[in-house]
Amino acid sequence: MKKTILLLTIGLVFFSSCKKNVAPIVIKKNITYKVNSTAERLSVNYYNEHGVMVASEIVGKTWQYDFKATPNTYLYLGAKNLTPTGSVNIEILVNDKVKFKNSTVLPYGAVNCSGFVD
């Protein structure tokens, strides 16, 4: 009888001391930065998926950048018209829904929008 109780006690101690390795499941969201413009030249600044500010000049009327991000990631998109005429519209989409947007029709106008992923 003593052996049975001892074996049960050792078994309970062994199983209760094991920790379960439980990591939270983090679901990344699809992020899209979009710029639409009637201007021929734009300067675009944005934070990429690594949180690094990227600056580039684009020629054309549309630009898009896609990546995945975890909740609480900071998003930023800015655009500046490099010509005296034209409009600039920017959007940040999270899972294909517009989360942030801004626009301007000013000569050499600049716009930006930013926020966090929910």
pLDDT on residue 48: 97
Q: Which of 14, 80, 76, 73 is nearest to 41 (CA)?
A: 80
Could you tell me the pLDDT band of residue 72, with boundaries at 50, 70 and 90? Answer: very high
Question: 0.85 cut: is pTM over it?
Answer: no
- Least confident segment among 22-26, 97-101, 107-111: 22-26
- Span 77-96, pLDDT tens digits: 999 999 999 999 999 999 99
Count of beta carbons in the 10 Å neighbourhood of residue 107: 11
Q: Of 20 and 102, which is predicted with more confidence?
A: 102
CB 38 within 8 A of CB 24: no
- Where is 17: in which H helix or E strand? helix 2-17
- Least confident segment among 3-12, 50-59, 60-69, 107-116: 3-12
Instruction: For the domain covering 26-116, report its CATH number.
Output: 2.60.40
